[in-house]
């Protein structure tokens, strides 16, 4: 065997051995991996994380425990991961608003997601659906826009809070369609949905996975989804792009979940965790449950996650001028 060939074989073997050791260290002693979530138990992010944790545990050979660290606009979980050892034992199941919107609107965010974390892998994509009170007189996007133009400031929309993705998504809808609506912020999606049902507000955008229950039970009416294509769980609900309104052509406003670790993780550890995460997402049971909840598949490399985060952070910067939260 030539010296160069022998050297390449040895280097490949060393790389494989190092990577295998990295994952073995994660599962060493069956110590649990902490998967932090910045939102309360029972919500869509928590639900997605708990389903994912079960699948990832099978790939790592050690328990993966979900911990809810709420507060500071869902950034407390990220702050704890930033301070953790870069050993793969503390991970963050992050929702995109914290990565792409919070840096644009928070006065004093304790870390920069683009600089202080290690992106590991995408998990899934999600989209919102605009739902309205059953007694509203319009039935589709074109009728809604016409009604709003004829009745300025009469329509109101709720959100999970100032600077949230459903606040800014509705604001983007209004801006692109040339209408004005009143924003009513709530402390979470659930109370906002209750007021849509009760007629205290006209409408709200909500994640398809949670809004579907209210739509199918006829408590609210769906107008349109924010995805570029119709969602499989709501096949009869059109997209905003289908409305024929010029400003809504190509309307594509969604979110995603991704996994992050502390800054300074070894490249081979990042690679192997990415491999384990993608393997978990490929498990049939998890794929089935995510599909039932209306989520879209989105997998790939750590760089895939980094690139989308950067692109959407720049996009949200265009509609957040003047919006500040503590």
Q: What is the pLDDT of residues 28-79, one digit of tens each?
A: 556 899 999 998 888 788 999 999 999 999 999 999 999 999 888 889 999 9
Banded model confidence at residue 164, pLDDT cuts 50, 70, 90: confident
Q: How far apart are CA 179 and CA 121, in angstroms?
A: 38
Contact between 263 and 79 under an 8 Å Cβ cutoff? The reply is no
Instruction: Decide which of 3.40.50.2300, 3.40.190.150, 2.40.50.1070, 2.40.50.140 is the CATH code for 3-126+255-317.
Output: 3.40.190.150
Q: How far apart are CA 192 and CA 199, in angstroms?
A: 10
pLDDT for 178-217, tens place per residue?
A: 999 999 998 888 899 999 999 999 999 999 988 999 999 9
Domains 3-126+255-317 and 127-248 share a fold: yes
- What pLDDT is attached to residue 26? 63
Q: How far apart are CA 317 and CA 117, in angstroms?
A: 21
pLDDT for 239-267, tens place per residue?
A: 999 999 999 999 999 999 999 999 999 99
CB contact set of 220 (below 8 Å; sequence gap of 6+):
131, 132, 133, 134, 193, 196, 197, 211, 214
Q: Is 46 helix (H, G, I), strand (E, B) or coil?
A: helix
Q: Quick one: residue 218, left, alpha or beta (phi over 0 = left, psi -120 to 50 = alpha)?
A: left
Backbone angles phi, psi at 202, to 5 degrees: -80, -40
Q: Is 152 helix (H, G, I), strand (E, B) or coil?
A: coil
Q: How far is CA 16 from CA 21, 56, 89, in A?
A: 8, 21, 21
Query: In the block, which residue shows the tokens 């050993």?
Result: 87
Kindly state the DSSP code that residue 115 receives in the 8-state scheme: T
Instruction: Decide which of 1.10.3720.10, 3.40.190.10, 3.40.50.2000, 3.30.230.10 is the CATH code for 127-248.
Output: 3.40.190.10
Q: How far is CA 31 from the centre of its chain?
A: 28
- The answer, yes or no, to whether residue 23 has pLDDT greater than 80, is no
DSSP β-ladder status, 33-37 and 64-68? parallel
- What pLDDT is attached to residue 27? 53
Domain ranges of the chain: 3-126+255-317, 127-248
Total-model pTM: 0.81
How would you class 254 by CB atoms within 10 Å of its CB: exposed for 0-12, middle for 13-18, buried for 19 or more?
buried
Q: Is 242 helix (H, G, I), strand (E, B) or coil?
A: helix
């Amino acid at each position: 065997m030539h010296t160069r060939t022998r050297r390449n074989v040895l280097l490949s073997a060393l790389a494989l051995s190092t990577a295998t050791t990295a994952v073995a260290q994660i599962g060493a002693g069956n110590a649990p991996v902490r998967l932090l979530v910045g939102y309360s138990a029972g919500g869509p992010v928590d639900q997605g994380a708990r389903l994912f944790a079960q699948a990832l545990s099978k790939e790592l050979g050690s328990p993966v425990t979900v911990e809810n660290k709420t507060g500071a606009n869902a950034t407390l979980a990220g702050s704890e991961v930033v301070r953790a050892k870069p050993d793969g034992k503390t991970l963050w199941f992050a929702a995109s608003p914290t990565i792409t919107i919070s840096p644009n609107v928070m006065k004093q965010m304790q870390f920069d997601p683009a600089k202080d974390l290690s992106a590991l892998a995408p998990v899934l994509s999600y989209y919102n659906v605009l739902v309205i009170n059953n007694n509203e007189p319009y039935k589709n996007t074109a009728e809604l826009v016409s009604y709003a133009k004829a009745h300025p400031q009469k329509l109101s929309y709720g959100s999970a809070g100032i600077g949230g993705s459903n606040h800014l998504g509705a604001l983007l809808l209004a801006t692109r369609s040339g209408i004005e609506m009143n924003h009513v912020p709530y402390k979470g999606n659930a109370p906002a949905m209750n007021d849509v049902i009760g007629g205290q507000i006209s409408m709200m955008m909500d994640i398809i996975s949670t809004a579907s229950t209210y739509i199918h039970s006829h408590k609210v009416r769906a107008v349109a989804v924010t995805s570029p294509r119709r969602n499989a769980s709501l096949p009869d609900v059109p997209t905003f792009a289908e409305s024929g309104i010029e400003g809504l052509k190509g309307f594509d406003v969604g979110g995603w979940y991704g996994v992050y670790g502390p800054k300074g993780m070894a490249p081979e550890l990042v690679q192997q965790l990415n491999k384990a995460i993608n393997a978990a997402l490929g498990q049939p049971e998890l794929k089935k449950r995510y599909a039932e909840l209306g989520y879209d598949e989105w997998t790939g490399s750590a760089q895939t996650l980094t690139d989308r985060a950067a692109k959407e952070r720049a996009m949200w910067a265009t509609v957040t001028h003047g919006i500040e939260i503590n």
